[in-house]
Amino acid sequence: MSDGYGQGGQSGHDGQGRQQAYGQGYGQQNPYAQQNPYAQPVPPQQNPYAQPAPQHPAPQYSAPQYPAPHPHPHPAPPAGAAGFPGPAPRRSRAGVLLQFLLQWFYAPLWILALAALFALLLFAGGGGPAGPDSDGWLKVNRSFLPPRRLRAELTGRPEHWEAYLAPILDRRIRRAEAEDGWEPAELGPDGVRTARVRLALRFYRGLGAAGVVRLAERYGWAGFAGGTDEEHVTVSRRIAPPPVQGPVPQDRPAAPGTPWGPRPSRFVPALPFLLVLQLVYAPVYGLATIWVHRSDPEYWSNWGARWMVGPRAIWPEVTGSAAAWDRHLRRILERDATKELAKLPGEYHRGPDGGFLRRVRVDLATYRGAGAHHVLRVAAETGWQLDPSYPPRPEVSVRLCRPDRTPAA
């Protein structure tokens, strides 16, 4: 079988193949090597035949073109990071050691005191004294000193600070790239979202904000001057919308069982029990797993959309009628669209020309028996279309958008 380099069979791999010919071409069969005066004596008048070698300088002209783009991005990050503050003054070693030793005593007491305070507020009602505006006093972890940071604080060496900060920055950047910027009000008409990471001074004291920016540039991020001050540094990245798109309303209706087609109705006798159970199970499950981090920013809404049932959706599911599903879909879509169109333009992220997108989400419970493609067909009648800013997920919801523009003043 040919591998694309030989003529066929094994000509690209055996001793008589073309790769062998290239290997020999520079040693024995190269016409320029035969005319080389060092390889074979020739009369002086034949020297012009050796001149084709200087015409082989194509790589000499192209070589500077490849490294040329690389020097520009590399000097650029330090230039951008130079505008950010450098390392902060070191803390007292005695104070750092004292904090590390005492934290093993006051941290558990602090947590117990917070638990007692919450219990008191829960049973005392709303007549107690008001707490501070900031919630910083609730986060005991801010004053906790891990061993890696202890080492960096004591030595003050940049490599130790980088070893402490690098895994934290990596974790926060990955989380921000998956979660940040998905709110409808934060997305502009171009669908580009902005992910941001904000770090307190305790994470990068020995590196400075400039050092944080240099580390973030390894991930393609940049410093955000608007969110950086003496006590914090902010890095950000603009992320283009996903290229995946769904069908258009004019396409043929999606077949049942396909991602965009109708889905089978659930077990009818179980629907009333699901309706009652979700009123109890959903809050309990939410409270029991509130501390679990979810990589999906829409985990809770998608989780509910997969199995919950609305009172108005029971009849379409029971009958399985396409007309019932169509009426239910139109009623819910009209309700949500009216609510969305009533919002003020100032609540949206607008483009340079004043344009923005109204956005509506339709859950699976609204179109289960009609199909996600039917949502697009009904929405197109009033100017709504599939929102290109979000990756299509017809198994849980359909995101719709409608162009709008701020009226001229």
For residue 108, give both structure tokens: 């558990």
Average pLDDT over residues 255-260: 90
Average pLDDT over residues 189-212: 92
Q: What's the total number of domains in the chain?
A: 2
- Same-domain pairing of 208 and 301: no
In a domain, 388, yes or no: yes
d(CA 386, CA 368): 17
DSSP-H helix ranges across 125-223: 147-155, 158-179, 208-217
Say if residue 175's pLDDT is above 60. yes
Cβ atoms of 235 and 186 closer than 8 Å: no
In a domain, 354, yes or no: yes
Does the global pTM surpass 0.95? no
Say if residue 104's pLDDT is above 90. no
Cross-strand partners of 348: none
Say if residue 339's pLDDT is above 90. yes
Average pLDDT over residues 62-87: 44
Q: Which band of pLDDT confidence, cut at 50, 70 and 90, is reported for residue 141?
A: low
In a domain, 64, yes or no: no
d(CA 300, CA 277): 17
- Same-domain pairing of 233 and 280: no
Please state whether beta strands 232-239 and 355-363 pair in parallel, antiparallel, or not at all (unpaired): unpaired
pLDDT tens-place string over residues 380-409:
999 999 998 988 889 999 999 999 987 654
Query: What pLDDT, on the 0 to 100 scale, is given for residue 157?
Result: 93
What rounded mean pLDDT belongs to the chain?
75
Element (H, E) at 282: helix 271-288
pLDDT tens-place string over residues 265-315:
788 787 777 777 777 777 777 777 766 767 677 777 777 777 777 777 888
- Domain around 170: 72-90+156-241
Average pLDDT over residues 177-189: 86
Q: Which band of pLDDT confidence, cut at 50, 70 and 90, is reported for residue 40?
A: very low
Q: Say how many residues make up the chain.
A: 409
- Same-domain pairing of 177 and 80: yes
In the listed set 223, 241, 259, which residue is the last one of a domain according to the structure? 241
